[in-house]
């Protein structure tokens, strides 16, 4: 019941600006904690060990915090879980790209820059559209299905451990000179925690294409992100991933669903949003069935 109510609450209200303009969002607080750890411990020798010990400490702290919060009753659990889900905010951000593109290319670039990490300044309309669709698929897994999955498995402790790990991966889980060693544990733990949710997300996105998703998913640079992206590519009959630029450096990633069209107009972004809602509805149905099965 808690998970189902939280999913509905998040879908209705999202992240109200009036609240988070006055208070720091829990994800922001987690980011500050990880930033502090990065500054404090990412130096000297044995960076990989230090990074691993930091993640163990943070995960233990989140697990204990989750247990304490769980004692406050189911209404508090519903609110906290809803805050840490991101269906409505994801939909709003992705739709903003479609709206921006309808106004003009520069507006579309500005909106997509809010949800992707690649360079957007030289993107054409199709590249902007594909980037928005890729972000929609990947963030459905990271921001909705995976948190819901870990809450279903281990309650608030599982949810908080997942969120601190996913936040750490997004901040320090990169193969850069500064973070390749220190962020190794965060990146590997994030891979483990997203293994099942990523494949579940693919099933929710394209249940009729499930046998075709694996080959394209394995072309992706990420062991997990390729699954929801490949599913979305097949569902929309569009090519995703492919070459892109980071910090001025062109990276020649392979295409996912390469034989499909590479055109991505605002209507394709809106179709991807419709898929987000259908996958969310299927996940909600699963959560209700789980609750009924346990009651």
Summarised one tens digit per residue, pLDDT across range 249-279 is 777 888 999 999 999 999 999 999 999 999 9
Note the pLDDT of residue 134.
96
Local confidence band at 220 (pLDDT 50, 70, 90 cut-offs): confident
Asked whether residue 282 carries a pLDDT value surpassing 90, the answer given is yes
Q: Which residue pairs, CB below 8 angstroms and at least 24 apart, start in 184-191?
A: 184/48, 184/51, 184/52, 185/48, 185/51, 185/52, 185/54, 185/55, 186/51, 186/55, 189/55, 189/59, 189/165, 190/165, 190/166, 191/223, 191/224
Q: Could you tell me if 146 and 166 are in contact, meaning their C-beta atoms sit under 8 angstroms apart?
A: yes
Find, among 134, 91, 116, the residue nearest to 229 by Cα.
134
Note the pLDDT of residue 29.
97
Angle between helices 74-83 and 146-172 (to 10 degrees): 50
Local confidence band at 122 (pLDDT 50, 70, 90 cut-offs): confident
Note the pLDDT of residue 58.
98
Alpha-carbon torsion 56, 58, 64, 69, what sign?
A: negative
DSSP 8-class letter at 237: T
Token digits of residue 58: 């943070």
The percent of residues in the chain predicted with pLDDT above 70, rounded, is 100
Q: What is the mean pLDDT of residues 67-78?
A: 96
Distance of alpha carbon 200 from alpha carbon 186, whole angstroms? 22
Find, among 123, 1, 148, 151, the residue nearest to 62 by Cα.
151
**Which pTM does this prediction carry?**
0.94
Given phi > 0 = left and psi -120 to 50 = alpha, else beta, which region is 281? alpha
Per residue in 137-166, pLDDT (tens digit) is 999 999 999 999 999 999 999 999 999 999
Per residue in 14-38, pLDDT (tens digit) is 998 888 889 999 999 999 999 999 9
Note the pLDDT of residue 48.
97
Q: Which structural domain, as residue segments, surrounds residue 220?
A: 2-294
Tokens 């990276």 appear where?
A: 251
Local confidence band at 110 (pLDDT 50, 70, 90 cut-offs): very high
More confident residue, 203 or 245: 203
Alpha-carbon torsion 212, 214, 220, 222, what sign?
A: positive
Token digits of residue 139: 């963030």
Per residue in 165-218, pLDDT (tens digit) is 999 999 999 989 999 999 999 999 999 999 999 999 999 999 988 889 999 999
Asked whether residue 246 carries a pLDDT value surpassing 90, the answer given is no
Q: Which residue pairs, CB below 8 angstroms and at least 24 apart, start in 252-258?
A: 253/220, 253/221, 254/219, 254/220, 255/219, 256/216, 256/217, 256/219, 256/220, 256/226, 256/229, 256/230, 257/216, 257/230, 257/233
Asked whether residue 281 carries a pLDDT value surpassing 80, the answer given is yes
Average pLDDT over the chain, rounded to whole? 94
Asked whether residue 219 carries a pLDDT value surpassing 90, the answer given is no
Distance of alpha carbon 42 from alpha carbon 38, whole angstroms? 5
SS3 assignment, position 35? helix
Asked whether residue 247 carries a pLDDT value surpassing 80, the answer given is no
Asked whether residue 135 carries a pLDDT value surpassing 90, the answer given is yes
Asked whether residue 11 carries a pLDDT value surpassing 80, the answer given is yes
Note the pLDDT of residue 208.
87
- How many domains does the chain divide into? 1
Distant-in-sequence, close-in-space partners of 247: CB < 8 Å, separation ≥ 6 = 119
């Amino acid at each position: 019941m808690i998970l189902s109510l939280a999913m509905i609450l998040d879908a209705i209200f999202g992240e109200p600006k009036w609240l988070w303009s006055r208070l720091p969002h829990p994800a922001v607080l987690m980011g500050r904690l990880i930033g502090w750890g990065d500054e404090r411990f990412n130096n000297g020798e044995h960076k990989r060990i230090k990074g691993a010990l930091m993640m163990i400490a943070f995960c233990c702290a989140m697990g204990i915090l989750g247990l304490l919060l769980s004692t406050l009753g189911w209404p508090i659990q519903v609110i906290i879980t809803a805050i840490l889900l991101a269906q409505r905010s994801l939909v709003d951000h992705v739709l903003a790209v479609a709206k921006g593109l309808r106004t003009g290319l520069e507006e579309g670039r500005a909106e997509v820059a809010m949800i992707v990490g690649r360079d957007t300044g030289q993107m054409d309309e199709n590249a902007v559209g594909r980037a928005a669709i890729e972000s929609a698929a990947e963030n459905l897994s990271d921001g909705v299905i995976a948190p819901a999955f870990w809450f279903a498995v281990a309650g608030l402790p599982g949810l908080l451990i997942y969120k601190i790990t996913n936040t750490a991966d997004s901040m320090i889980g990169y193969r850069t000179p500064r973070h390749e060693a220190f962020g190794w544990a965060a990146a590997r733990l994030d891979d483990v925690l997203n293994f099942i949710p990523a494949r579940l997300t693919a099933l929710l996105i394209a249940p009729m294409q499930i046998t075709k998703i694996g080959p394209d998913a394995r072309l992706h640079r990420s062991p997990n992100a390729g699954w929801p992206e490949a599913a979305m590519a097949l569902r929309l009959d569009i090519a995703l991933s492919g070459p892109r630029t980071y910090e001025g450096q062109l990276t020649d990633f392979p295409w996912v669903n390469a034989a499909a069209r590479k055109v991505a107009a605002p209507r394709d972004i809106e179709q991807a949003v419709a898929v987000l809602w259908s996958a969310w509805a299927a996940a909600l149905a699963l959560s209700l069935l789980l609750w009924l099965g346990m009651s």
